[in-house]
Structure 1
């Protein structure tokens, strides 16, 4: 890779990392001028690299998804217990939710069918494979209900993913609350793990 290309990729990485800091804001409150200031580049450079604010946000979200996928893989392949792996995955999922304004994310996806496809592909073909690997581990340890088939789990996750993509602004704001996220995670876990028998 030549020096110019390397510098370009470094600048784009800096721009996308700076954009990450603003993803908690509503879509209309994210300004190219603010991103340029954070990344220490000109607004012209940002438009030259990405063409629009929406394209930059899309690139930033894709970068975050890939980063999360690597984190999930590391957790699942680690030596910690099954229950700790589940807990750690949900903590990381919550951290992801904390840095993205769901209303902004939903609005962006409604404008961009390609982003919708990328998010769905990420959920089905990356996140699901990591989760399936973990579920299989839980089954082998006798901790996960054997009657829950992977295909059923896939449908369940797909339904949840579609719901997130089509949330109205009020629901998007509601789900940002920590207690609500905890409740969703608990619903997922208690539907998945064996219950103690009296």
Structure 2
């Protein structure tokens, strides 16, 4: 098939931002916990040492079969290699900008900073428990929110007993900080 009819580019550098990635504020480091950093490094190592070599082997085998234009293994393998390479570039950039923060070493344990677990209630009296983590570690449904999220920004630097204001699409909400928890110091 003529390349003019295929929607692919030779330059994959402009799409390093994967759809699931969150942009970091300009000029900031990529703050993350040790567990988050280790998870990203493990994913990068797996892609480099396991997944990519396996796909390269399949693509080489498929290429040796002759006609590549209708060879599904070859076409899919090349596409998968581009995806793996894109993810590896993304992870490499994120890890280069990473600054690992140990929440257990936080000296001001009564104030909300990165890594704190915060128990708070809203105006409706509903209680929430969230841990402030890096953008690549956030899992809101598990109570792990990014430090750049609106809720985390409202909570940061507040103390137990404080009331902070959170701007939401529905209007202003007040959050009462009930408890600030850090991991035990090592």
Q: Same fold (TM over 0.5)?
A: no
TM-score bracket relative to the smaller structure: under 0.3
Provide the TM-score with structure 1 as the length reference: 0.23
Higher-Rg structure is: 2
Bigger fraction of residues in strand: 2
Bigger fraction of residues in helix: 1
